[in-house]
C-alpha cells in the first residue's frame, strides 16, 4: 500500500521567483523509512510543508493514504501526519510537558479520560514519564524533542515526519530520538519520512531521496546512494564515517567489493581481504 | 530576572495551596471589595485578624510578603502623608498654610495604611500560593460566561498560557543577546539615562525579530497538530472544586456578616 504519493510536485513562493521544487515525484510504501537529504536551500523543508498542506503546490498533486490533498481534505490529512520540527523550543505549546503532549489530542476533541491515558502512554514510550509536570524551561533540547515526539505518538498518526528534528541536538539526544522513532516504526508499522542533511541519520532509512536545487537527483537504498561519491559531493553533503572510510581505503589502493554501512560489515570485509592476502 | 516574575509562586502543601484557583481569585477580589466596609477599630481588627490568619494558614515565609509590599512603598507613603496632612476635623494639633495635623487626619491615615497593606498582602498571597498556570486556568473559567457575548475566551486563554510559557524562554534569550552584545563591547550598566536607553537598542531589535520568527514557527507547529482556532477543543486540565473551597466561601459569608455587625 502506498502511504505517500507525490506526483510532479512543483512549488514557488511567489509568481516572480524561481521554482523551489521542480517536478518532484516519489512514492513511499506504508511502514517504510524514507530519508530526504540535501544541503540548506535544496527545498527539503518546502517539500514537507507541501505534504501536510501548510503550503499549497503550484502544480502537481500529493496523495496521502489514498486521499488527495485539497483545501477540503487538509484537516483529515493532518490527522494522519505528525511532524516533529527542527527547533525544540518553538514547537512547545503547553506550559508543562503533559499539557504539550495533550495539545494535539485537545484539538481532536479526544475525551478527558482517554486523553490522560494516551498522554501517559506516549510519555512512557519516549522515556519522559517522570517529567510529566515539568516546564519546558527546565528541559534539555533532547528532552524537549522527545516531548515533541510524544505529542505526535499520542495522536497515533500513520506517518511521522522528522523535519530536521535532530539537527539542534547533541549526539546523545540525537541517537535517543532516532532510537525511539526506530522502535516505533517496527512496533506500530508507521511510515517515517526524515528530512535531514546528516547522512548518518539517512543511513537508517530504507530509501534515500537526494534533493538538490529543488530537483530530485537520485533515489536508492543507502548503499546505492553512498557509493555514488560525486553525486553526494555535488549535493553538498558529506558521507557518513564508514562509507567515507571505504572511499579513503579505495584511494589508498585497497578496493573493497562494495560500500558498507555499518562498522561490523566493514570489519568483516577487511578480515576477509586480510585472509586472502 | 527569571526569579522576579515566575519565582513569586512558592509551592507548598497547605489547604490554601490546594484550593481551586477560581475560588481563590473570587475571594481575593471579594476581600478587596469588603475591606471598604470597615470603618471603625473593631471592623479593622476583624479584617486584620482574618488577613493574618490566612497568611499563617498558607505557611509562606514572611519575607516573600515584604517583597510584595516593597515596590508599592512610595505609593503607600505618599497616600498616607496626603491623608495625614490634608484631612481636617476633630482636634487640630498643628497647622501650617494648607497643611494640618488633626485628630481625623491621624485616624484616617492609619486606616488607609491598613487598607493598603491588607489589599497588597491578600493579592500577594494569591500569586504566592497559586501557580501562574492555575491562575490562567482560573481566569479562563471565570470569564467563560462572557462567551455568550461572543468574546473569544478560548483564544484568550490559549494566548495567556502561551505568553506564560514563553516568559522564561524570552528571558533566557534576552540574557543570551545581552551577553553576545557585551562580547562586542556594548556596556549596559554605564552612563546617563539616554546612553542606557540607547544601549538597549541592540538587544530589543534582535529580540523582536526572534520573537516574530518564533511565533511563526509555533503557529506552523500548532497548525500541523490540528489546531485551527475555530472548532471546540476538549480540555486536558480540569479544575476541581473541593470541600475546602466551599468552606472558604462559607468563611467569607460569615466574615461579611461579622463585618457588618462590627461597623458603626
Q: What is the pLDDT of residues A55-72, one digit of tens each?
A: 888 888 899 988 888 888
Mean pLDDT of chain B: 86
- Do A132 and A96 lie in one domain? The reply is yes
Q: Are residues A131 and A251 in the same domain?
A: no
Same domain, A27 and A59: yes
**Res A277: pLDDT:** 67
Does residue A37 belong to any structural domain of this protein?
Answer: yes
Cross-chain residue pair A107–B218, CB shorter than 8 Å: no
ipTM of model: 0.85
Q: Residue A45 to residues A40, A48, A127, A170: CA-CA distances in angstroms? A: 9, 5, 28, 21
- The answer to whether residue A131 scores a pLDDT higher than 90 is yes
- Structural domain boundaries enclosing A38: 2-228
**Residue B7: pLDDT band with limits 50, 70, 90:** very low
Do both A223 and A247 map to the same domain? no
Average of pLDDT values for A27-51? Answer: 89
* Residue listed under C-alpha cell 521542480: A22
- If you average pLDDT over every residue of chain A, what do you get? 88
The answer to whether A59 touches A24, Cβ cutoff 8 Å, is no
Query: Beta strand pairing status for A191-196 and A33-37?
Result: parallel
Structural domain includes residue A251: yes
pLDDT tens-digit profile of B125-183? 888 888 888 888 898 899 989 989 988 888 888 888 888 888 888 988 999 999 999 99
Q: Are A182 and A52 in a shared domain?
A: yes
Q: How far does chain B reach from its first CA to its final CA, in angstroms?
A: 47
Distance (Å, rounded) from C-alpha B96 to C-alpha B100?
Answer: 6
Element of type H or E holding A224: helix A222-226
Write the residue in B169, B172, B225 that is nearest to A151 by C-beta: B225
Position B2 scores a pLDDT of: 41
Q: What percent of chain B clears pLDDT 90, i.e. is strictly above it?
A: 30
pLDDT of residue B8: 66
What the block records as the C-alpha cell of B242 is 473541593
Q: Given pLDDT bands bounded at 50, 70 and 90, which one contains residue A115?
A: very high
Mark out the alpha helices in chain B (DSSP H runs). 2-5, 15-18, 21-34, 41-58, 62-69, 73-86, 103-129, 132-143, 153-183, 193-224, 243-262
CB A97 within 8 A of CB A123: yes
Q: Are residues A31 and A83 in the same domain?
A: yes
Based on the fold, state whether residues A29 and A151 are members of the same structural domain.
yes
Q: Is A5 a catalytic residue?
A: no
**Interface residue A73 vs chain B (CB under 8 A):** no
Q: Nearest-CA residue of chain A relative to B228?
A: A107
List pLDDT tens digits, range B104-121: 888 889 999 999 899 988
Mean pLDDT throughout A74-87? 90
Radius of gyration of chain B measured on its C-alpha atoms: 24
| CA proximity to A3, closest of A182, A193, A184, A191 | A191
Instruction: Please tell me which residue of chain A has the smallest CA distance to B237.
Output: A99
Summarize pLDDT for B212-250 with one digit per residue, the tens.
999 999 999 999 898 887 778 888 888 888 888 899 999
User: What strand order describes the sheet that includes A67-68?
Assistant: A21-29, A2-11, A59-64, A67-68
Instruction: Tell me what percent of the residues of chain A surpass a pLDDT of 90.
Output: 32
| Same domain assignment for residues A54 and A102 | yes
Q: Please report, for the domain that includes residue A23, its CATH number.
A: 3.40.50.300
From first CA to last CA, the distance across chain A in angstroms is 48
Residues A40 and A99 in one domain: yes
* CB spacing of B228 vs A107 below 8 angstroms: yes
A160 shares its domain with A200: yes
User: Do the chains contact at B226 and A79, CB–CB below 8 Å?
Assistant: yes
- Over residues A41-47, the mean pLDDT reads 86
Kindly report the pTM of this predicted structure. Answer: 0.81
**Separation CA B174–CA B84 (nearest Å):** 44
Alpha helices in B184-242 (DSSP H): 193-224
Q: Is residue A62 part of a domain?
A: yes
The answer to whether the CB of A63 falls within 8 A of the CB of A176 is no
Q: Are A17 and A138 members of one domain?
A: yes
Grid coordinates given for A261: 554501512
Backbone angles phi, psi at B49, to 5 degrees: -60, -45
**Residue to substitute from B236, B237, B238, interface A, most A β-carbons within 10 A:** B236
The structural domain count of chain A equals: 2
Q: Could you tell me if residue A233 is inside a domain? A: no
Each residue of A165-212: pLDDT tens digit?
A: 888 888 888 888 899 999 988 888 899 999 988 888 888 899 999 988
pLDDT of residue B173: 92
Q: Is pLDDT of B260 > 80?
A: yes
Question: Whole-angstrom Cα distance, residue A45 to residue A52?
Answer: 12
What is the distance in angstroms between the Cα of B122 and the nearest Cα belonging to chain A?
26
Q: Pick from B197, B129, B140: which is nearest to B163 by CA? A: B140
Is A154 domain-assigned?
yes
Residues in chain B with CB shorter than 8 Å from the CB of A97 are none
* pLDDT reported for residue A143: 92
Gap from B263 CA to chain A (nearest CA, Å): 45
Average pLDDT for A68-97: 89
pLDDT of residue B25: 92
Given this model, what pLDDT does residue B5 score? Answer: 47
Three-state secondary structure call for residue A201: helix
Report the residue from A94, A106, A115 with minimal CB separation from B165.
A94
Q: Nearest-CA residue of chain B relative to A50?
A: B224
* Same domain assignment for residues A214 and A270: no
The set of cell numbers assigned to A107 is 484539538
Amino acid at each position: 500500500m502506498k502511504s505517500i504519493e507525490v506526483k510532479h510536485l512543483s512549488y514557488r513562493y511567489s509568481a516572480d521567483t524561481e521554482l523551489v521544487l521542480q517536478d518532484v515525484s516519489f512514492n513511499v510504501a506504508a511502514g517504510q523509512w524514507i530519508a530526504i537529504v540535501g544541503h540548506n536551500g535544496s527545498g527539503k523543508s518546502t517539500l514537507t510543508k507541501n505534504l501536510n498542506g501548510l503550503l499549497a503546490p503550484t502544480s502537481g498533486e500529493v496523495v496521502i493514504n489514498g486521499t488527495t490533498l485539497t483545501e477540503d481534505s487538509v484537516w483529515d490529512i493532518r490527522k494522519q501526519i505528525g511532524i516533529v520540527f527542527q527547533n525544540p523550543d518553538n514547537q512547545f505549546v503547553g506550559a508543562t510537558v503533559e499539557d504539550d503532549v495533550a495539545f494535539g489530542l485537545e484539538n481532536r476533541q479526544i475525551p478527558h479520560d482517554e486523553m490522560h491515558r494516551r498522554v501517559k502512554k506516549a510519555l512512557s514510550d519516549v522515556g519522559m514519564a517522570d517529567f510529566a509536570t515539568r516546564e519546558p524551561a527546565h528541559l534539555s533540547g533532547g528532552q524537549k524533542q522527545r516531548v515533541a515526539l510524544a505529542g505526535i505518538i499520542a495522536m497515533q498518526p500513520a506517518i511521522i515526519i522528522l523535519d530536521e528534528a535532530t539537527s539542534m541536538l547533541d549526539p546523545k539526544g540525537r541517537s535517543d530520538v532516532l532510537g525511539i522513532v526506530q522502535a516505533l516504526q517496527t512496533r506500530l508499522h508507521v511510515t517515517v519520512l526524515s528530512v535531514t542533511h546528516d547522512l548518518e541519520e539517512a543511513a537508517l532509512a530504507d530509501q534515500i531521496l537526494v534533493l538538490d536545487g529543488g530537483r530530485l537527483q537520485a533515489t536508492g537504498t543507502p548503499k546505492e546512494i553512498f557509493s555514488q561519491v560525486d553525486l553526494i559531493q555535488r549535493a553538498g553533503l558529506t558521507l557518513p564515517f564508514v562509507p567515507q572510510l571505504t572511499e579513503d581505503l579505495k584511494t589508498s589502493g585497497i578496493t573493497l567489493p562494495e560500500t558498507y554501512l555499518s562498522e561490523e560489515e566493514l570489519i568483516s570485509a577487511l578480515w576477509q581481504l586480510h585472509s586472502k592476502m | 530576572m527569571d526569579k522576579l516574575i515566575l519565582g513569586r509562586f512558592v509551592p507548598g502543601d497547605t489547604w490554601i495551596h490546594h484550593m481551586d484557583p477560581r475560588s481563590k481569585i473570587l475571594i481575593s477580589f471579594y476581600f478587596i471589595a469588603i475591606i471598604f466596609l470597615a470603618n471603625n477599630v473593631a471592623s479593622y481588627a476583624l479584617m486584620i485578624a482574618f488577613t493574618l490568619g490566612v497568611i499563617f494558614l498558607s505557611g509562606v515565609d514572611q519575607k516573600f510578603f515584604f517583597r510584595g509590599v516593597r515596590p508599592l512603598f512610595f505609593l503607600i507613603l505618599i497616600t498616607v502623608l496626603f491623608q495625614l496632612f490634608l484631612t481636617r476635623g476633630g482636634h487640630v494639633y498643628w497647622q501650617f498654610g494648607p497643611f494640618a495635623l488633626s485628630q481625623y487626619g491621624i485616624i484616617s491615615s492609619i486606616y488607609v495604611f491598613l487598607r493598603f497593606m491588607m489589599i497588597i498582602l491578600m493579592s500577594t498571597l494569591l500569586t504566592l500560593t497559586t501557580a501562574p498556570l492555575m491562575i490562567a486556568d482560573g481566569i479562563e473559567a471565570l470569564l467563560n460566561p462572557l462567551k455568550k457575548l461572543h468574546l473569544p475566551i478560548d483564544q484568550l486563554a490559549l494566548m495567556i498560557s502561551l505568553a506564560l510559557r514563553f516568559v522564561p524562554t524570552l528571558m533566557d534569550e534576552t540574557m543570551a543577546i545581552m551577553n553576545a552584545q557585551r562580547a562586542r563591547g556594548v556596556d549596559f550598566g554605564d552612563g546617563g539615562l539616554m546612553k542606557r536607553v540607547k544601549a538597549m537598542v541592540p538587544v530589543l531589535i534582535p529580540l523582536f525579530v526572534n520573537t516574530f520568527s518564533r511565533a511563526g514557527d509555533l503557529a506552523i507547529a500548532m497548525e500541523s497538530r490540528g489546531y485551527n482556532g475555530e472548532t471546540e477543543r476538549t480540555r486536558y486540565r480540569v479544575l476541581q472544586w473541593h470541600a475546602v473551597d466551599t468552606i472558604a466561601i462559607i468563611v467569607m459569608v460569615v466574615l461579611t456578616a461579622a463585618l457588618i455587625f462590627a461597623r458603626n
